[in-house]
Every structure is written in structure tokens, then in C-alpha cells.
Structure 1
Amino acid sequence: RGFSFSFLHKHKSIFAHMTTQSTLLLRKQLKELTKHPVEGFSAGLVDDENVYEWEIMILGPPETLYEGGFFKANMTFPKDYPLMPPSLRFVTEMWHPNVYPSGDVCISILHPPGEDRFGYEDAGERWMPVHTVETILLSVISMLSSPNDESPANIEAA
């Protein structure tokens, strides 16, 4: 048996509502970061028409290998944000144990919510809808200062 038209229509309506909610939330977070900048990074939209693609500039944290550097990254949000986490990819080349050679960042708060099927992370370390762009980027800056060598994404950098 296939899905009924009413089910599809209802499902489409829920998805559209969720997309609207995520758009409003992301615009609110962008406005907050614009009004109240946070030391260590800046964030903005890649294209004013697409609130799901952000361009990030991170200032290398003091007393690290990255001190004084400017590191460009892109953050991509799923349509079901904040239920699911965004992804973050450095555009600037980054040599770090928790950054894949592709530039993709590997930190717990960007992993989908719930239990880790491999048992490395507690559910409380993974994505939760209370996280914001600010908390994500502060976690990335913290990662640059204190790499997690126990679960490296880039083994050679560990």
C-alpha cells in the first residue's frame, strides 16, 4: 500500500513549518551575533538569500600553533535545524587532529543526537537543539586550543 495523499500533504505541511522555524531561528542567531559580536570569530551568510549557508572567520587562539591566523570555514545547516546539527568545514587549509584532510570538523557537538553506536561519546556530548552558532564556534575555538588526540580525524596530525 502506498501513502495517501492526505498523509503526504500533512507531512509536507510539517516539513514546511519546520523549515520556517529553522529559518526564523537562524535569522535570530545571525542578528544576535551581529548586534553582540563574540571575540574570536565572525559569522555571516554566504548569500543573503540562503540562511542555511554561513561563512565563518575564526581568529587563531592565543598561545596555540594557530595564533594570529585567520581561518575561513563554511557552516551548512540542515532544514531540520535545530533538531539536527550543522556541518562545519574549514576552507582554509587546517592541520589539526580533529579536522579531516577535507576540512570537515569532527567534534562531538556536531555529531547527531542520541547514543554513539561505537560507544566513544556520551549522548550528552553530542548535538542538542539548545546549541547555537555561538556555542558551536566557541567549541571549535576550544578544539583548536585543546585537540582531542583520542579520536583523531587526521591521524597524521595527532
Structure 2
Amino acid sequence: MAEAYCFLLRRDLRAAVADFIWPEGVEVCTYQPQLAPAVHQLMQLGYREGGGRVPALEVWQQRFERDPEYDPQLCFIAMDAEGVVGVVQCWTSAYIKNLVVHPRAQGRGLGRALLLNAFRVFQQRREGFVDLKVLEDNLRAQQLYESAGMYVVRREIVPD
């Protein structure tokens, strides 16, 4: 199997963060354990085409909630009338671990709003920058991140 690569992207938080609005019918809250099944299901759906792996719900939830960098105030959940449609999971080290938008909500600016909201929260926490990793072949995500002011820091081999 050929090696896969990802890019480490960074956003300087000294620069202003663009204004954004949440798509109509979408409300955002922070993570609560009772949302775990719906968040997990969205992450599985989002990574179904590749781009990451999500372990079984119990394993995922335990790893997530017990991670030393976990803070529920840094995990933003977007919901519409049908349920969870977006999640951005961030770590206390100013790192965006996951950003997933449900296919039915794509193309409405939700991913951009979640990303910019995370930038704002990290600015309020007086972080200098925020990082994330994106697979080299995930061009749609790269375009989103670059349009929000992120730039490539380095290319890395994706661990197995």
C-alpha cells in the first residue's frame, strides 16, 4: 500500500477572523455526553469515504472524554431539526482534531462557520495560532481551510 500524506495547516490568530453567520435553522451548542451517539454517527458518516477512522462508540467516547486535552467547551455541535449536522472537535493545545459536516448540510457555509467559530474561541483564549491536519487528497477541505487563512506548515506521512 502506498504511503498517504497529510498537511499540517496553521492559522495565525493575531489576524482578524472574518464575520460569519450560522446557516438558517442551525443552532450550536457545546458537547454533552448525551450527544455522543449522534456525534459519533456523524463522524462515522463523514469518514466513510476515507480521511480518518472512528472506533466503536464506547471506545471513541472514552478516548475523547478522557483525553488530557479534552474540554467540552472546545467541541461545538451544530444541530438542525433532524439532529446533529456538524461538529468541530478541538483540543486545549489550539488544535482542531475533527471537523465534519453532514452531507445534507454541506454547501451552506456550516463548515466555514464552525471553523471560524473555533478560531474566535482560541483568540479569546489568547492562543497565538491554531493547527489542524488534512489529508493531501482532501482538496475540498484544503480549499475551505486556506480560504479561512490557514497555510501549510509541513507535509507528513500519515501513520498507519
Q: TM-score, normalised by structure 2?
A: 0.29
* Structure having the larger proportion of residues in strand: 2
Greater relative CO, 1 or 2 (CA 8 Å, sep 6+):
2
